[in-house]
Structures are given as C-alpha cells and as structure tokens.
C-alpha cells in the first residue's frame, strides 16, 4: 500500500472505530461526507498565488504604512469558472479558519497538518454538488489571510530582511482591509471581474462587508453571518485578556517560538517556480503553549451561549481525558465536569495547529476594524452608501460576541440609503458558533438567496 493510500486509510479510521462509552459525547465521530459521496468536493489540494511575483516583485503595501516582500497566498477552489467567469463565489474565513472550506486534504499527513486527516473542511456540509454553495453551478474560492499560519505569508515565514529568519513579532500589523486587497489581487489573477457573491461569518463577515464597501462594483451579492461593522466592546475585552495572557507567557519569549527546522510543506515545494524565494515555514518549537491554550478556552466561551452551555454540559461528569502516554496518578481526579473537559480539549487541539504570533495579529485586526470610522467618518450610513451589492445580513438570537444589534445596525444603515437588504434573525441556542453549527437553517437561507440572480444580471439578461 502506498504512503498516499495509507493517509487515506488513516483519515477515516476514527470513523470506523467503535466508540467507547467513556468518550465524551462532543468528541464522538460526526457524520462526515466521505470523499466519494455525490455531494462532496472529494480530495482537495491547496493552490499558491505568488502575489509579489505577479506584481513584478513590488512589495505589498499595508495600511499601517509598511510593506511585505515575497507575499504568497494559499487558496482553494471547488467547481469550475464558467466562460465569462461570472459564477465565482468568494468565502472568507473567521479568526482560526483557513482556506480549506470543504473536502478532504489530499496532502495532509502525520507530519503535515495531521488534524485534517480525520475531518473535512470547516463548511463541508454547505459546499459541493447540489449543496447551498453548489459547485455544479458556482466556482467557490477561499484564500487564507495574511498573517496566519496556513500557507499564506505569516509570522513563521522567512523574513528576507532578516537573513530569512522567521518574522515572529517583527511581522507588521495586518488589517481587514489588507486581507481584502490581497484577495482582490487573487481575484484579478484568476481573471474574475466581478464576484457573484462574497460570503463570510464572524470575522469573515467583516471581510465580506469590507468587500462590498471597498469594491462596490465588483460584488453582486454579499452575505454576512454572525458579524457586524465592528467588534463590540465586550469582545474587545475578551480579546485583550487573551492577548495579554499570550504576551506575558514566559515561554512565548516575545514571539521567538520557532525551532531551527523548517516545516515540510508540499504546497510550497511543488508550486515554487523560482529558486530565489524561500517560502517554507519555520517549525514551532513549543506546541504546548499554555497561554494560547487559555486564550482559546476563553474564546470558546464567547462562541457558545449560557443556555446552550447549560443544555450541552450542565453539571455532568465525565472521565478525565489524558494525553497519549500520560499515566494515571493518585493526586489527579478520575472525573471532571464536562464543560471543563470540553474547554481543555478545544484549547489543546488549537495549540497543536495554530501559531501564537498569528493569533495576536488576527485578533488585533478584528479589534481594529470599524467600517463606520474607516469609510464614513464614524457614520455607518455614510459608509454603507458606497454599497451596490444585494445584501443579506444574518444574526443569531443567542450570539453574544456579535449580538443581533450589531447586524441590525448594518440593516438600518442600508435602509437609510434606501438600499434593499434581506435581514434574517435565526432563533438558535448555539451562540456565535451557530453560523457553523446550524447547518440546516443556514443552508436554507443561503441557498434561497443565491438562487436569485443579482439585479444587474437580471437586467442584462444573463
């Protein structure tokens, strides 16, 4: 059996294995689509867009006034562009997301993104043939944001101005506007003049809004879910606690968390066309950074809701989950509250796949974004007056990271401009994560909105 077949076998071994009763219910295998399912996009491969090279090696200018050299963007595409390239939908991801929206990563291995061996893309049940994002009709695109740790230039990338050592905390501040401009460069590279739609939830929703405002003539439809024109002050507070925790961690070492080894990166090895650009990531030396673990646990509390946590966990006990090879000790309790186990698991799985420097950069971009201040001098209605896209704004009743009021403020700003908007409030007990968890409700909403062609296309008879 080949190494590639071995990786396929491992990808589904957890689903075929019998579930033990002591496994917490929230960790049991989910009903994922297999890659040969009719509704799946199947096995996927990431793609690389060499932004700097395509622009004549001119550095990419950032809103902070600094620039980045040798910028590369990792992205994925599902479905085919039609002849006039008018069927492209851009999906923008949230804080901890990536370009892998759907399907099964064919390049994942025990050494390279092992967490993808047992799970498909993060919106897999919405993307594929005859799904809401119908790949038999649309071409779906998602790119990883600047500053992250999933293939796009970020803190672990080699810094050409520092002997190709990792950027670490020398990586310049990134904004939502920077992300959208880099996405626009990718869309240009693909030869797409106008997007059929831009769709995003949470921080991805802010990118979708920025697209509609910054490039009004290039967006046909815009869908925002569980998002707003700014992060409310309570969210700013939670982000501050998380980032202070990371920065004050002795083992964070002011961002110097990388080893002397490079990460095996098949994407960059296979796509590199010039020998003078070093694109491989530096490996993270400490994958057990407690402060990042704590930051993720804190964030997950904001993604849920009080009533949802009560119904999901209550005060139920479960066996303490030990890491592989960890022995039982007399001083360690055998059972713990289910909510404690859940948060511990979320924190642990996060530090195994994310970069603390990236977390700081992305959280700061989330904090700083304010569409009203940037585009309307503090007036959201003025900012939204630039929008030409057909808008849909979706809020979730129990979301307390981006409460319904944040979505409603965008709706009101659009109405002040006499701009048509579809406003949907979804009754849900899942909190902020509802845009990912409430797949059935979200599917119906998105499908119905995308089915009707944008007004400009109807007028042009397309």
pLDDT digits (tens, 9 = 90+) for 178-202: 999 999 999 999 999 999 999 999 9
Domain ranges of the chain: 3-460
From the list 134, 355, 370, 399, the catalytic residue is 399
Whole-number pLDDT of residue 263: 81
DSSP 266-334: HHHHHH---TT---PPEEES-S--HHHHHHHHHHHHHHS-HHHHHHHTTT-EEEPPPPTTPPP-TTS-S
pLDDT digits (tens, 9 = 90+) for 114-161: 999 999 999 999 999 999 999 999 999 999 999 999 999 999 999 999
Pairing label, strands 282-284, 139-143? unpaired
Choose among 376, 364, 108: nearest CA to 239.
Answer: 364
Residue 252 DSSP class? G
Say which residue the tokens 């990236």 belong to: 358
**From CA 90, how far away is CA 79, in angstroms rounded?**
12
CB 34 within 8 A of CB 8: no
CA dihedral 332, 335, 338, 340 (to 10 degrees): -10
From the list 202, 227, 291, 407, the catalytic residue is 202
CA 305 to chain centre: 21
Residue 432 among the catalytic residues: yes
pLDDT digits (tens, 9 = 90+) for 57-112: 999 999 999 999 999 999 999 999 999 999 999 999 999 999 999 999 999 998 89
CA distances from 389 to 26, 381, 384, 385 (A): 39, 15, 10, 11
pLDDT digits (tens, 9 = 90+) for 337-363: 999 999 999 999 999 999 999 999 999
pLDDT digits (tens, 9 = 90+) for 358-412: 999 999 999 999 999 999 999 999 999 999 999 999 999 999 999 999 999 999 9
3-state class percentages of the chain: helix first, strand second, coil last, to nearest 5: 40, 15, 45
CATH 1.10.1380.10 fits domain 3-460? no
Residue 202 among the catalytic residues: yes
Q: What pTM value is reported for the model? A: 0.91
CB 212 within 8 A of CB 389: yes
**Rounded to the nearest 5°, which phi and psi values hold at 198?**
-120, 130
From the list 93, 157, 432, 433, the catalytic residue is 432
């Amino acid at each position: 059996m080949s190494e590639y077949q071995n990786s396929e076998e491992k990808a589904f071994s957890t689903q075929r294995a019998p579930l033990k009763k002591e496994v917490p219910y929230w960790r049991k295998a989910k009903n994922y689509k297999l890659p040969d399912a009719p509704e799946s996009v199947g096995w996927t491969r990431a793609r690389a867009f060499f932004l700097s090279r395509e622009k004549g090696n001119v550095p990419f200018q950032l809103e902070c006034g600094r620039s980045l050299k040798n910028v590369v963007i990792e992205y994925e595409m599902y479905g085919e562009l039609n002849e006039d390239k008018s069927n492209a939908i851009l999906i923008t991801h949230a804080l901890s997301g990536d370009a892998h929206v759907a399907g099964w990563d064919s390049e994942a291995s025990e050494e390279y993104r092992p967490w993808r061996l047992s799970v498909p893309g993060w919106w897999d049940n919405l993307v594929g043939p005859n799904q809401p994002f119908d790949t038999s009709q649309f071409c779906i695109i998602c790119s990883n944001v600047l500053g992250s740790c999933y293939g796009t230039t970020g803190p672990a990338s080699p810094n050409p101005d520092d002997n190709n050592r990792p950027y670490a905390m020398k990586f310049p501040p990134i904004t939502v506007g920077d992300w959208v401009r880099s996405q626009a460069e990718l869309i240009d590279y693909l030869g797409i003049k106008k997007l059929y739609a831009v769709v995003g939830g949470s921080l991805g929703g802010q990118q979708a809004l920025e697209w509609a405002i910054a490039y009004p003539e290039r967006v046909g439809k815009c869908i925002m879910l569980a998002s707003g024109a700014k992060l409310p002050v309570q969210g700013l507070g939670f982000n501050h606690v998380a980032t202070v925790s990371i920065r004050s961690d002795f083992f964070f070492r002011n961002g110097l968390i990388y080893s002397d080894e490079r990460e095996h990166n098949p994407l960059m090895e296979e796509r590199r066309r010039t020998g003078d650009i070093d694109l491989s990531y530096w490996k993270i030396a400490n994958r057990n950074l407690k402060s990042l673990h704590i930051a993720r646990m804190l964030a997950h509390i904001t993604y849920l809701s009080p009533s949802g946590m009560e119904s999901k966990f209550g005060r139920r006990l479960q066996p303490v989950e030990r890491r592989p090879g960890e022995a039982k000790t007399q001083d360690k309790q055998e059972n713990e509250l289910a909510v404690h186990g859940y948060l511990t698991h979320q924190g642990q799985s996060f530090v195994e796949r994310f970069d603390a420097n990236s977390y700081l950069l992305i959280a700061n971009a989330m904090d700083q974004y304010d569409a009203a201040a940037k585009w309307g001098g503090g007036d959201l209605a003025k900012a939204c007056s630039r929008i030409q896209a057909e808008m849909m704004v979706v809020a979730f009743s129990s979301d307390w990271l981006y409460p319904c009021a944040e979505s409603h403020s965008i709706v009101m700003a659009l109405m002040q401009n006499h701009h048509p908007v579809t406003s949907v409030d979804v009754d849900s007990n899942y909190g902020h994560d509802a845009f990912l968890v409430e797949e059935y409700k979200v599917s119906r909403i998105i499908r119905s909105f995308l089915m009707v062609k944008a007004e400009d296309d109807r007028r042009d008879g397309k």
